[in-house]
Amino acid sequence: MKKVFIALAILFTILSVIFTVLPLGTLAIIPIIPALLFAFLGFRNAEGKPKQVSRVIMMIAGVLLLVVIGREIFVKDEIEVDKQFEQKKAASEKETAKELEELEGLE
Amino acid sequence: MKTLLFTIVAALTIHAGFSQVKPGETFVYAASYNMAGLMTQLAQVKMQTNTVATSKSSYLHLSCEAVTFSKWDSFFKIRDLYESYVNPLTLKPAMYKRDIFEGGYTKKEKYIFKNDGRTVNSTVQKKKKPETKKTFTIGSATQDVVSMLYKLRTVDFSRQKIGQATAFTIVFDEKEIPVVVKYMGTETVSAGNLGSKQCYKVSIAARTDALKGKDKNLIWLTADKAKVPALIKFSIPVGTGQLALKSATGI
């Protein structure tokens, strides 16, 4: 049983790392919680090397949880200044004014 | 008598149109998408108005842009721009433009609304496909999607009863789509820098595959003269999301 717990803990930890790296915000907590839970169950029932593995998994999952919470509290959602997009908007307005002028001339 | 009637109609038109939508307005929203029950902020949506003048007339330029937050840019970059050039009094469109970039997919659309009010010349260009041109007829009251959003702000909901519906018709993807706006009462919601505001809650129903569910596409408009959209909730085939007002200036 302890092997199953550790295997599940490893699986959820891998998912947690992926979810934390991706910009999914608090969604990363979803795999972190089972990773912590299974690592704890594995830690409680195991001895020797498996116990060490469970401890490491718990530490990784704990750090990931702190990263997710910290990012949510301290990192603000911002947009990058996209010069190309700004130029496109300005060009569109200029072009439309010209087109409207031409259309008025036709009517 | 005719002059009096004209004055009343003109006054009502000005009250219904221009008074709520002014040049210089900027509304900034945070767009979130529901992923596994958690709202994840994806993009910033900005709605702006400004005046564009030609030698003969003046237009109100209504623009809506969606830009993904920088953390999302490497995964799914969005740079969408929807624009409408309208008559400042009636909000009747003269030109509509859509230029979208969504994770590599691009589409450009331009509709020229002819002066007869019933003919549209459209130009569409999708990614890696040749430009197509089309001319089609529409109803005299048909709006583009951007000007319809602004036109919604001219509806006097204070005189409406709960459940009362207002009909619009929009042209989107070169098709006319009937839209029904149902007044659902008032509610207090957070409206960014405006604080908590009492709002008119309205439900939008459109005969299109883009929107899903009954009374699941909702807009809360501040129950004042400006009728600022404070909160927008939407339900689309791939999930639900919302646009929450962060700041409103120039109202």
ipTM of the complex: 0.73
CA B99 vs. chain centroid, Å, equals 15
What's the one-letter identity of residue B102? E
B3 — contact with chain A (CB < 8 Å)? no
Q: For all residues of chain A together, what is the average pLDDT?
A: 88
What is residue B2's predicted lDDT score, i.e. its pLDDT?
40
Q: Which residue of A lies nearest to B61 if distances are taken between CA atoms? A: A93
Q: Which residue of B lies nearest to A83 if distances are taken between CA atoms? A: B79
Mutation for A interface: B47, B49, B58, B71, most A CBs within 10 A: B71
Query: pLDDT-derived band of residue A25, with 50, 70 and 90 as boundaries?
Result: confident
> Around Cβ B176, how many Cβ atoms within 10 Å?
15
Phi, psi for B147 (deg, rounded to 5): -65, -25
Dist CA A42 CA B176 (whole Å): 61
Which residue(s) pair with B222 in the sheet? B199
Query: Which residue pairs from A100-106 have beta carbons closer than 8 angstroms and sit at least 24 positions apart in sequence?
Result: A100/B52, A100/B54, A100/B59, A100/B85, A100/B94, A100/B95, A101/B54, A101/B55, A101/B56, A103/B94, A103/B112, A104/B54, A104/B55, A104/B56, A104/B57
Which residue(s) pair with B46 in the sheet? B28, B65
CB B34 within 8 A of CB B14: no
Structure tokens at B64: 């809506």
Dist CA B218 CA B38 (whole Å): 19
B30 — contact with chain A (CB < 8 Å)? yes
Q: Which residues in chain B (108-127) have CB-CB distances under 8 A to chain A?
A: 112, 115
Q: Which residues in chain A (11-30) have CB-CB distances under 8 A to chain B?
A: 22-27, 30
**Does residue A49 carry a pLDDT above 70?**
yes
What is residue A74's predicted lDDT score, i.e. its pLDDT?
85
Residues of chain A in contact with residue B63, where contact means CB-CB under 8 angstroms, are 89
What is residue B8's predicted lDDT score, i.e. its pLDDT?
36
Lowest mean pLDDT among A28-32, A49-53, B35-39, B138-142: B35-39
| Yes or no, beta carbons of A79 and B69 under 8 Å apart | yes
Closest CA to B151 of B20, B52, B243: B20
**Distance in angstroms between the alpha carbons of the first and the last residue of chain B:** 35
CB B51 within 8 A of CB B88: yes
Residue with tokens 């089309």: B134
CB B242 within 8 A of CB B32: yes
Dist CA B135 CA B119 (whole Å): 7
SS3 A5: helix
Q: Which residues in chain A (58-77) have CB-CB distances under 8 A to chain B?
A: 77
pLDDT tens-digit readout, A56-104? 999 999 999 999 999 888 888 888 888 999 998 999 888 898 888 888 7
Mutation for B interface: A22, A68, A77, most B CBs within 10 A: A77
What is residue A24's predicted lDDT score, i.e. its pLDDT?
80
B52 — contact with chain A (CB < 8 Å)? yes
Q: What is the DSSP string of A20-84?
A: HHTT-GGGGHHHHHHHHHHHHHHHHH--SHHHHHHHHHHHHHHHHHHHHHHHHHHPPP-----HH
> Residue B135 belongs to what H/E stretch?
strand B132-137
| Yes or no, beta carbons of A26 and B115 under 8 Å apart | no
Mutation for A interface: B40, B50, B102, B111, most A CBs within 10 A: B40
Separation in Å, CA B174 to CA A46, B76, B109, B147? 65, 27, 9, 16
What is residue A107's predicted lDDT score, i.e. its pLDDT?
60
Report the gap between the CA of A11 and the closest CA in chain B (Å): 19
* A3 vs B48: which has the higher pLDDT: B48
Residue B84: half-sphere exposure toward Cβ, Cα within 13 Å:
22
Closest CA to B151 of B92, B78, B68: B92
Question: What is the pTM for the complete model shown?
Answer: 0.82
The whole-number average pLDDT for the span A21-38 is 89
Mutation for B interface: A96, A98, A106, A107, most B CBs within 10 A: A96
What is residue A77's predicted lDDT score, i.e. its pLDDT?
83
Closest CA to B233 of B93, B12, B28, B34: B34
**Does residue A1 carry a pLDDT above 90?**
no
| Yes or no, beta carbons of A27 and B72 under 8 Å apart | no
Strands B143-144 and B165-172: parallel
Dist CA B180 CA B149 (whole Å): 12
What is residue B212's predicted lDDT score, i.e. its pLDDT?
63
| Yes or no, beta carbons of B85 and A107 under 8 Å apart | no
What is residue A9's predicted lDDT score, i.e. its pLDDT?
93
Separation in Å, CA B208 to CA A64, B89, B123, B171? 42, 29, 21, 11
Q: Which residues of chain B have pLDDT under 70?
A: 1-19, 208-213
Separation in Å, CA B226 to CA B22, B29, B229, B250? 9, 17, 9, 10
What is residue B36's predicted lDDT score, i.e. its pLDDT?
72
Report the gap between the CA of B184 and the closest CA in chain A (Å): 32
Q: Which residue of A lies nearest to B96 if distances are taken between CA atoms? A: A96
What is residue B87's predicted lDDT score, i.e. its pLDDT?
92
> Around Cβ A37, how many Cβ atoms within 10 Å?
16
A102 — contact with chain B (CB < 8 Å)? no
